[in-house]
Structures are given as structure tokens and as C-alpha cells.
């Protein structure tokens, strides 16, 4: 299998696992030790996973101020539920992205996913398309995950 196919398969596997709501240890197994996640958007108390950089695999307590990858997934799970498994598409993969000499990148993958989300506190649902950008190491593990989603709809769903 060519590198691009192998790396794309790794990115798709993570997105599908996340969309299915796999357990935390499974999700974390897709990441490097020094990875980070950022879901772009204005950081708000009602959406504490937005606009913050979550770094490293080390699990922390259930403190909303903690910033590890495990904390990101716990916060998303605390506030949101994916009602239906996302439909993923629009996949691209760039295996010529380079990286630093001592920290080479294997590829940058991107995709979009369409799903219905539920705010766990209010019960409000909304449909949206999310965009993912994944930087992968040469082994196919995620170094950086960036997410763009409809943060206004997510915010409105927090309102009673």
C-alpha cells in the first residue's frame, strides 16, 4: 500500500471511531505523545472545548480548565452527543508537506463530516458540517487535529 493510501486510511479510521463514539483509550491511541487538538471558535463558558489548545495524552481529572487531549474528548462528551454517525467526505491528503528535520510529517489530511448534534444539557439538536485537518506523523498517528464547526449553532443550543 502506498504511503498516501496508508496515511489516509489512518485518518479515516480515527474520524470514523470518533463519530461512532469509541471509548477514550481507543481515541487516544490514534495520537502521538506530543499531539494537540484545537477546535476553532470563541472560548465560552457554555462551550469550554472551543478556542483552547489541548496538548498531550496524559489524562487529568474532570476539571473543565485542564487541557490534555483526554480532557478535550471528555469535555466534548460532557456537552455534546453525535446523534447520527457522521457522513465523511471531501477527503484530501498531502504527503509532500515536509515538516521539520527532526520531526517530519507524513501527511496532512482533511475532510468534512455531516452530522446531527445534541446539546446534552438542553436537549436541543442541530445539523452541521464539521471540517477536520489532521497532521499525521510518518507512522500515521495524529500530531495535530484542527476542527472547524458551527460554533454559533452550538452556542444557540446551550440557550434554554
Q: Please state, in angstroms and rounded to a whole number, the distance separating the CA atoms of residues 38 and 22.
A: 19
Nearest partner of 27 among 76, 91, 95, judged by Cα: 76
- The residue ranges of every structural domain in the chain are 3-156
The pLDDT of residue 3: 85
The pLDDT of residue 57: 82
CA-CA-CA-CA torsion sign (32, 63, 42, 52)? negative
Q: Is the pLDDT of residue 1 over 80?
A: no
In tens, the pLDDT along 66-97 reads 699 999 999 999 999 999 999 999 999 998 87
Q: CA-CA distances (angstroms) from residue 41 to 15, 49, 106, 154?
A: 20, 9, 27, 10
The pLDDT of residue 61: 58
The pLDDT of residue 68: 95
In tens, the pLDDT along 9-57 reads 999 999 999 999 999 999 999 999 999 999 999 999 999 999 999 999 8
Q: Is the pLDDT of residue 116 over 90?
A: yes
pLDDT band at 8 (very low <50, low <70, confident <90, very high): very high
pLDDT band at 105 (very low <50, low <70, confident <90, very high): confident
Q: Do the beta carbons of residue 138 and residue 103 sit within 8 Å? A: no
Q: Please state, in angstroms and rounded to a whole number, the distance separating the CA atoms of residues 97 and 82.
A: 32
Q: Do the beta carbons of residue 90 and residue 111 sit within 8 Å? A: yes
Class of domain 3-156 (CATH, top level) = alpha beta
Q: CA-CA distances (angstroms) from residue 30 to 34, 140, 154?
A: 12, 8, 26
CA-CA-CA-CA torsion sign (94, 96, 100, 103)? positive
Instruction: Return left, alpha or beta for 109; rule: phi > 0 is left, psi -120 to 50 is alpha, else beta.
Output: beta
Amino acid at each position: 500500500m502506498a504511503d498516501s493510501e496508508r496515511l489516509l486510511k489512518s485518518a479515516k479510521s480515527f474520524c470514523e471511531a470518533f463519530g461512532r463514539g469509541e471509548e477514550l483509550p481507543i481515541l487516544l491511541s490514534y495520537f502521538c505523545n506530543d499531539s494537540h487538538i484545537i477546535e476553532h471558535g470563541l472560548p465560552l463558558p457554555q462551550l469550554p472545548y472551543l478556542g483552547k489548545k489541548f496538548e498531550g495524552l496524559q489524562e487529568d481529572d474532570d476539571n473543565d480548565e485542564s487541557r490534555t487531549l483526554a480532557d478535550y474528548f471528555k469535555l466534548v462528551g460532557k456537552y455534546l452527543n453525535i446523534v447520527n454517525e457522521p457522513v465523511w467526505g471531501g477527503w484530501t491528503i498531502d504527503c509532500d508537506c515536509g515538516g521539520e528535520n527532526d520531526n517530519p510529517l507524513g501527511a496532512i489530511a482533511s475532510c468534512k463530516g455531516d452530522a446531527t448534534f445534541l446539546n446534552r444539557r438542553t436537549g436541543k439538536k442541530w445539523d452541521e458540517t464539521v471540517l477536520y485537518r489532521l497532521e499525521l506523523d510518518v507512522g500515521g498517528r495524529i500530531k495535530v487535529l484542527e476542527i472547524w464547526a458551527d460554533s454559533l449553532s452550538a452556542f444557540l443550543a446551550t440557550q434554554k
